[in-house]
Amino acid sequence: MVEYVAITNSVDSLLAIYDTSTFSLVASFGTSGTPGLPGADGLTSPVDLAIDETNSILYVACAAGVAPGSSGIGFVASFDVSDIPTAITFVDYVAFDEGNGTLPQGETTVPIGLFYDDTDSSLWILNDLTTSSGTPYPAGFPYLEAGALSVSDAGASNGFLTAHIDGRTEDYWLRQQDTKLHMDVDRRKLYIGNVGGVEAFDVATLKHQLHFGYYSGDSGLVGGSSMSPLVPPAAFPSINAANAVASDVLSVDGSLRNLILFTDGVNNRFVRVPEDAYLGDNVVTFSELNFSVPLSLHGYLVKGNIPTSKVCVEYRTTSTGSWQQLAQTDSVPASSYFQFRVRVTPDLIDIIEEKSISEIVIVGEQE
């Protein structure tokens, strides 16, 4: 089975598809360096794409170019790629500015991010409304919205949304204009890159859940209305801006960890954030220990600046035994085998203030 990768080149207004086994170019759409429209075999500033693998439909977001009947620049187009590597065939203009430019009207102003959700047959679009007359906020305020546009198997818009996320509420403000969105389809979570990190939403409820990222030296928030959302007041974020975002699962010590991955373009770095650090327990399991002389345990001491109440030390005396909690002052019968694990439950402030454990001392004696 041959696998392909599609890449948009916004500078040269080009879509290129490569064979991943040979790293060779097998098909392209557009004329390099010449902006155009899909109806005339061209593209203008393509910035993102999404694929409906089942129906071989590729969606491309163009941040510039005026589609037929459009009132402004920018559009989303669909392409049939079932004949790759032979041809890329233009299908339809899926969304563009018909006078309003907002997603609830089935329109876009400047689409900057795409993700296809095959569960709902919907195309998630990140729409930059900053310069649009359709924005509900004063001119000059960065304002993005996200919505899932229902699309047909053939790659045409059905004219309605299956979901919509406003760009500004009392809890967040989507204001990073050079960014992307990503969905964890299995867990039904949507991630949108933003100034200072990544915003996470529950797709089922469309509720904002968390902000992944932090501002250096300041854990406070200011604001609290739709016109002045909660944002960190510090001038310089430790994470400047998330320009692209993805999610993954990593197995650590036999436990699955959900990770948020994104690029920080201003600081030229790639950031990996453990989602579980914000949502619940963080568990580290240590290697088993075998002693020639049995040991009894009398408790433990935590060194560091994280509150001891948020640290739990557990042990077991066989490789398949159940885990038991070790009290700070305890009396555990002697054993020649011990395995330990540490469970930490920080809150967001602990992570922002970089609280940590420098050392854990297990107190015991030989029998």
Percent of residues, the chain, with pLDDT higher than 90: 61
274, 275, 279, 280: CA torsion to nearest 10:
-40
Q: How confident is the model at residue 2 (pLDDT cuts 50, 70, 90)?
A: confident
Query: Higher model confidence: residue 171 or residue 21?
Result: 21
Q: Is CATH 2.120.10.30 the classification given to domain 4-280?
A: yes
The whole-angstrom separation of Cα 297 and Cα 68 is 76
Give tens-digit pLDDT for 37-77: 999 999 999 999 999 999 999 999 999 999 999 998 999 99
* Among 243, 252, 303, CA closest to 276: 252
Q: How confident is the model at residue 227 (pLDDT cuts 50, 70, 90)?
A: very low
Q: How confident is the model at residue 249 (pLDDT cuts 50, 70, 90)?
A: confident
Torsional sign, CA 248, 253, 256, 257: negative
* Predicted pLDDT of residue 356: 85
Question: What average pLDDT score do residues 33-37 get?
Answer: 94
Mean of the per-residue pLDDT values of the chain:
86
Full-model pTM: 0.75
CATH 2.120.10.30 maps onto the chain at: 4-280
Question: Taking 80 as the threshold, does the pLDDT of residue 263 lie above it?
Answer: yes
Which tokens belong to 234? 């510090």
Question: Taking 60 as the threshold, does the pLDDT of residue 330 lie above it?
Answer: yes
* Predicted pLDDT of residue 268: 79
Tally Cβ neighbours within 10 Å of residue 336.
13
The whole-angstrom separation of Cα 356 and Cα 358 is 6
Q: Rounded to an integer, what is the distance from CA 251 to the centroid of its chain?
A: 19
* Predicted pLDDT of residue 229: 46
**Highest mean pLDDT: which of 137-151, 166-180, 288-302?**
288-302
Question: Taking 90 as the threshold, does the pLDDT of residue 226 lie above it?
Answer: no
HSE (side-chain half, CA atoms, 13 Å) at 361: 6
Whether a cis peptide bond, with omega within 30° of 0, leads into 85 is yes
* Predicted pLDDT of residue 216: 39
| Lowest-pLDDT range of 34-48, 84-98, 164-178, 296-310 | 164-178
Question: What average pLDDT score do residues 173-181 get?
Answer: 90
* Predicted pLDDT of residue 142: 87
Query: Higher model confidence: residue 255 or residue 238?
Result: 255
Query: Higher model confidence: residue 100 or residue 112?
Result: 112
* Predicted pLDDT of residue 220: 43
Query: Higher model confidence: residue 192 or residue 275?
Result: 192
Order of strands across the sheet that contains 181-184: 181-184, 189-194, 197-202, 207-212
Question: What average pLDDT score do residues 145-163 get?
Answer: 96
Q: How confident is the model at residue 278 (pLDDT cuts 50, 70, 90)?
A: low
